[in-house]
Structure 1
Amino acid sequence: IGDRLTVLVEPYGGVLGDFVDLIDPYFGDVKDGAVSAFGYRSPIYSQVGYGSGAGLTYEFSDAVNLSLAYLASEAENPTSGLTGGPFVALAQLTLKPTDTIALGLTYVRSYNGLDAGVAGVGSTYSNDPFDGESYTSDSYGLAANFQINPKIALGGWAGYTRAEAVSGAIDGANASIFYYAVTLAFPDLLREGNLGGIVVGLPPKVTSNDINDREDRDSSLHLEAFYRFQVTKNIGITPGVLVITNPEHN
């Protein structure tokens, strides 16, 4: 719409990453980037999973844009719909002060059960901090990418989630979840079109919880390396190595 405003409507199968700039141009493609879900984008975009909704991006200038999005994961359910069931709402300010630097400041508000946190890429407790009870969460994320030169890019992200139980005997209980990653990309490594990548980070971890037995006591480390070999324009092969130390932060 116009030169500055873009609107996207997703009736089915939408994810938060569809509505925003993921900041990292090399890892954030599920087909051509990292080999793990944690490696190819910040967990802040993994909330609610697939849903129905809409979003918009307004470009204030070439260097600044604002994205807003809303998704509901049970929009087809007459008793839940777009507003009564699990949902996620996002706001992201993207800054690109130069051609080589990109920053993203993200806020996400979400509601309900196993889909409200950073489901799927962290520990069992970070996916479900209140043992099946419904909860709301406020998540804050920072992502950055620096193109050091045409052959090397340094990036990463960090995020914090504050969750609050809203059902059951533990209504009002709080939990905190933290995660981060540092990435190195090597575009055109050995051959034009190929890509080498390294990811080192902490998968989502419950750092504090009013329910003491659902707090992660130790720390895992995610270690990932991959190399995408572009065989032809339409065919690529990506072998990778993935190591998780102290699985489940234990």
Structure 2
Amino acid sequence: MRKYLLASAGGAGFLWIIGGLLPAQALTKLNISDENALIDRHPVSYNQTDYFVAQELNPKDLSSINQEQKNENLGLDNTANSLPEITPKPANSSPSSEKLAQVTSVTQLSDVQPTDWAFQALQSVVERYGCIAGYPNLTYRGNRALTRYEFAAGLNACLDRVNELIATATGDLVNKEDLATLQKLQEQFAAELTTLRGRVDAVEARTAEIEANQFSTTTKLNGEAIIAAIGATGGAPDTDDPNIILVNRVRLNLTTSFTGKDLLITGLQAYNFLGGTDGSGSLQQSLGLASPLLSSSSARTSFEPQFPGVNVNTLSTFGANSVQLYKLLYIFPVAKKLTLFAGTAAETSDAFPAITPFYGEGQESISRFAGLNPVLRVSGGTSGSGLASAAGFIYTVSPNLDFRALYGSVNANLPQKSANEALPGVSTTPLGGGFFSGSSVIAAQLTFKPTRDLDIGLNYANSYHEINILGTGLISSDIGALGGVAAGTPVKLNSVGGTLTWRFSPKIALSGYGAALFVDDSSGDVDASTTFTSWMVGVHFSDLFKSGNNAGIIFGQPLYRSDASGAAVLGSNRATPYHLEGYYRVKLSDNISITPGAFVLFNPEGDSRNETTTVGVLRTTFTF
């Protein structure tokens, strides 16, 4: 009896059938053969240099939140300073990423019906020759388009099967017409088959080389280097304009997965910003706008650490470009909707999505004011030094709603508070000691997306500080939050805020936040309270003039002491401060960008005596 390879399919039917081989034989190899697919060159979003957002775990918890953190944050920018967001990885629905399973009967394919015009051809190829595989959900997707390369890969698979059958069967397996058809197809796709085989051979060779020289089977390395020139004019009365300074910050982030679902983030950094305990050598001190302790100021740039050159836990100092561990955090899912995290060097922004597109220390806004809601910065929540030991969770209610919370303690590694004093009433370990004593913060964020183009985040933080501070690093009044009250007075804070981003066109977004920080004496020795408020609005432009180039215009009010009662005072020469900022990021390549920008401070630090101050920045960012 004669056996017919094509059965009743005919030449046209055979072409259609080979197209169906695409998922089973061609697509995966084709993608792998792409040189750019061999290595993931896009840095883990440590936030936006900060990282709860490594690609293995960061499936973009809310589909459009922090679009630019295609780069940042647990927090790193699209860069090394941002950690990947810690959320469970969503299923990839792309056909190219699905595993394909061999089927033995056409009836196993749920989307193939006997009434389909090519049913008999498909049945023959599946059941007689085993050339076709289906998707895991038992579909065939016969109407999906294919490329000539994919066709060639499918044809090659079927030819291999035919050769196998010929080698094991009798001489009448195929007839002359079938062989002529196959020969013609083979000749027509000879170039594609040769190219495909060459690409597969190249991939195998490169894969072998990578395996032989790989850094680690479980760890990926990414980094970010920022080099910037900063100049300023204005400041306090009777001060000279500082010279232009050249600064740098380098971060290397190691992301390790032991199970494929968990993530250990280890971050190292070095920078040459100066400051120390008294702000010596800082730009803010030169302007006369810094606090007398720790150089907190509204003139601070986005990529500058909150406490440059000093370990705030012990008030010890270190030199420029000293290497430090600024991130150590472990993230792991425990249920379908629940992810836990814990670490000894973490920040609030690592766990909470920024919502606003201006967040990106190496890529977006150039000021500390614009990037995040001040509530996230309370208690050193975004110090840039991984200040706190923290533990928390992320509960994903739905794809459009999640709730996150954490507890952080600044001096968890110190068994007790030092008896020595740096200032009257201020210990040389000013934030206390122990994981459940000393300065601490409980923070939470509800993040939801009511519509496709609207992202909203609501924040609350309850903090306790051993000394009289806010811990945001945003204004000089951050130190001595209760005006007129001794520096060693412990305080408690209740902070609330909200952030919203509305993308009213594909490339333009309106974003803003509002915050209120309520500070009260916690010693029982005095009765004092103060309220700080802040707000910001801005317009963000994506792909402005050229793909990859972003820009932002921002206006708002930095934190301002709007109310005081009891022993606390508002201060003299008060005036509402305002902040105006503009920047334009130019993407030179996938790994290099330059961002010129400037921000203007009106009534800086809320003091009418201070001159209008302008800070200009030219920032170059390298990601790798």
**Residue type of the alignment partner of 1:228:** R
The CA deviation string for residues 34-72 of structure 1, in whole angstroms up to 9 with x for no partner, is: 101111111111122221111211110011110101111
Give the SS at the match of 2:378: coil
In structure 2, the residue matched to 1:112 is 465
| Residue of structure 2 equivalent to 1:176 | 531
State the match for 1:41 in structure 2: 372
Distance of 1:37 and 1:113 partners within structure 2? 25
User: Quick one: which amino acid aligns to residue 557 of structure 2?
Assistant: L
Partner of 1:4: 337
Which of 143, 166, 169 is 2:499 aligned to? 143
Match of 1:53 in 2: 390
Q: In structure 2, what is the Cα distance between the partners aligned to 1:214 and 1:16?
A: 31
TM-superposed deviation, 1:33: 1.5
**Which of the two has greater helix per residue?**
2
CA distance in structure 2 between the partners assigned to 1:139 and 1:20 by the alignment: 15
Aligned to 1:249: 606
CA radius of gyration, larger in: 2
Q: Indicate the residue corresponding to 2:450 in structure 1.
A: 97
Matched to 2:452, the amino acid is D
Flag the structure with higher strand content.
1
Task: Write the distance in 1 (CA, Å) between the matches of 2:471 and 2:388.
Answer: 15
Superposition TM-score, scaled by structure 2 size: 0.38
- What's the CA shift for 1:212? 2.1
Cα deviation, residue 214, structure 1 = 3.9
1:158 aligns with 2:514: yes
Give the aligned residue type for 1:180: W
1:172-212 deviations in Å (ceiling 9; x for gaps) = 31111100000210011111111001111100011111222
Q: For residue 246 of structure 1, what is the amino acid of its counterpart?
A: N
2:461 corresponds to 1:128: no
Identity %: 28
Alignment of 1:65-84 (within 5 A): 65-79=402-416, 80-84=433-437
**CA displacement, residues 113-168 of structure 1 (integer Å, 9 cap, x when unaligned):** 5685252113x334422241210000000110001111100011000111101237
Q: Does the 8 Å contact 2:468/2:491 carry over to 1?
A: no
User: Closer, same or farther in 2 for the Cα pair 1:213/1:159, shift >3 Å?
Assistant: closer
**Given the superposition, is the C-alpha separation of residues 247 and 168 from structure 1 closer, same or farther in structure 2, using an over 3 Å criterion?**
farther
Among 556, 563, 566, which residue is 1:201 paired with? Answer: 556
Match of 1:22 among 332, 351, 354: 354
Structure of higher RCO (CA pairs closer than 8 Å, 6+ residues apart): 1
Q: Is the 8 A contact 1:110 1:117 kept in 2?
A: no
Deviation at 1:92, TM superposition (A): 1.1
| Paired residues for 1:214-233 under 5 Å | 214=571, 217-233=574-590
SS at match of 2:544: coil
Q: Matched residues in 1 for 2:572 and 2:459: separation?
A: 25
For 1:214 and 1:87, locate their aligned partners in 2 and report how far apart those are by CA, in whole Å: 28
Q: Find out whether 1:191 has 2:563 as its counterpart.
A: no
**Would the alpha carbon gap of residues 240 and 108 (structure 1) be closer, same or farther in structure 2, given more than 3 Å must change?**
same
Instruction: Tell me how far apart the structure 1 counterparts of residues 393 and 434 of structure 2 sit (CA, whole Å).
Output: 21
Hey, what's the Cα distance between the residues in 2 that align with 1:113 and 1:220? 28
Q: CA deviation at 1:95?
A: 1.1
How many angstroms apart in 2 are the aligned matches of 1:214 and 1:168?
23
Distance 1:43 1:216, change over 3 A: farther
Q: Secondary structure at the match of 1:229?
A: strand
**Residues 70-101 of structure 1, C-alpha deviations (whole Å, 9 max, x = no match):** 11111111112111111111111111012210
Matched residue type, 2:514: A
* CA RMSD of superposed structures (Å): 1.8
Contact 2:469 2:481 in 1 (8 A): no
Query: Structure 2: where are the runs of 5+ without partners?
Result: 1-332, 381-386, 417-432, 608-624
- Partners of 2:606 and 2:373 in 1: CA distance: 18
1:239 alignment partner, SS class: strand
Checking the alignment, whether the CA contact within 8 Å between 1:109 and 1:137 is kept in structure 2 is yes
**Change in 2 beyond 3 A, CA 1:181/1:216:** farther
Give the total of aligned pairs: 246
Distance in structure 1 (CA, Å) of the matches to 2:468 and 2:521: 13
Structure 1 pair 68–21 and aligned structure 2 pair: CA distance change class (3 A): same
Tell me the secondary structure at the aligned position of residue 375 of structure 2: helix
Deviation larger for 3-12 or 86-95: 3-12
1:105 maps to a residue whose letter is L
User: Residues 48, 191 of structure 1: CA spacing in aligned structure 2 closer, same or farther, 3 A cutoff?
Assistant: same
Q: Which runs of 5+ in 1 are unaligned?
A: none
State the distance in 1 between where 2:404 and 2:578 align. Answer: 31
Contact 1:125 1:214 in 2 (8 A): no
Q: Bigger shift: 57-66 or 42-51?
A: 42-51
